[in-house]
Structure 1
Amino acid sequence: MDNNQGLIGMALGSWLVAAAAGALVAILLWVLGSWSFMQGAFMGFVVFAVLGAVVSWIMTRPLPAPQGRTPAAVDKPAPAAAPKAVPKAAPTATAAASIEPKVKPTTRLPGQEDLAARKGSWKYEGAAEAKPAPKKKAPAKKAAPTAASGDRPAGFSDAAREGVADDLKLISGVGPKLEETLNSLGIWHFDQVAGLKKKDIAWVDERLRFKGRIERDDWVGQAKTLAKGGETEASKKKRKS
């Protein structure tokens, strides 16, 4: 009786689910699909009939019993067999004999106690465990000679006097990059620029990116003014800023 009531309840629930799905499909077709009332109702009824039949058949179908066994046999598990007691084996005479030493020394050998006190683990180190050969260090690269070293004019130096260089950027036409280039050539002070001769100007001009800047911007004249404490256009702009 209980089984029949359960099947009826599942079938009724399946048809209710199908009815809800059909109603939802009809409403969506009316609202979103712009279908007419009759078209939406017909499609909802089709969904209700098909879905209700399929779900009801799936929910109320009886499950097959396992082959070769009855439902009673499935419900009642077979009793587990009691474990058999395994008798303990008695110690044999051979095992007892192996415990005791076969030969007992009558006298102690010289150095026996010293050898017995020395305990440790020994390990054979073969050729496979040899330490790898140290890697050879690459020779240090020699510093390339700068443009200032060599046939540079007299009066050029590797460093500024007393470690303090003049601000060559006060010369109009000299920027930070050009100042670094002049320092690498050995020019650090205004008096060095003011004392440039034609051959010195030609030597420096060959090593500049823009040729003719020294004479075009009158570096020598500006440097003489700055060396005497005067001002140039670049120094005035810097002072105002």
Structure 2
Amino acid sequence: MASTNNSCKTWCWVIGAILGLLVFFWANASWDGWFLALIVGIIVGVALAWLLATFFCKGSAVDASAGSSAPRAAATPTPPATPASTPAALAGGGAATTSAPAPKAPPPAAPKAAAKPKAAAKPKAAAKAAKPAAKAAKPAAKAAKPTAAKAAKPAAAKPARKPVAADGKPETLTKARAGGADDLKMLKGVGPGLEKTLNELGFYHFDQIAGWRKQEVEWVDSRLKFKGRIERDEWIKQAKTLAKGGKTAFSEKAKKDGTYKK
């Protein structure tokens, strides 16, 4: 039945398509413009196909639904089981049959033996478990002692620096300290001539340059031939590293090949 309904709808759409095509040819010949004729033909063909399928294919759909809802055949009842005859009745020749004896109930299961209580943990095991905890506590106590000792010592007060002079001049030396002057040429941008100028201004050591403040940098910069070199070449940052005995990329290169940037 379902195939009959589908066939009906198919024929309706075929008829609608043919009529729509005829309308397209008529409109194309009558009007000026094929696109408008195509739109009209499609609308007419779809409308006619839908109307035909709606009015002429209803009966097929009803028949298909009725056929699908047919009652199924009743299941064949199973014949009742014939009771078995007992041996006693067969021996006596009697026609009567007796029902089979009820099955005996299974004997009650023997109660399981009560679970034995777990033995208490041995004192030796408890003592072994306590030993690692005691060992772990010892390093913590040792670590706490140096910390407490360090906290007890008063922090050494750093000597207060003198404020910047009114004219911005940093502290200078008349000569190098004992042990000789530092090699200021280890600073990037300092050559032999600029090192001599710094010595004449009273600067012989890296720690002097490392301690310059903004106004002091301006004071020194105003007395150099090339302005802005202190900040551009980062003298203070390099001097802090060299004053602590460290090395910079420029100082390593200068010591290696013996050349200095002027």
Common fold by TM > 0.5: no
Alignment TM class, shorter chain as reference: 0.3 to 0.5
Higher helix share: 2
Larger radius of gyration: 2
When the two structures are superposed, what TM-score results if normalisation uses the length of structure 1?
A: 0.36
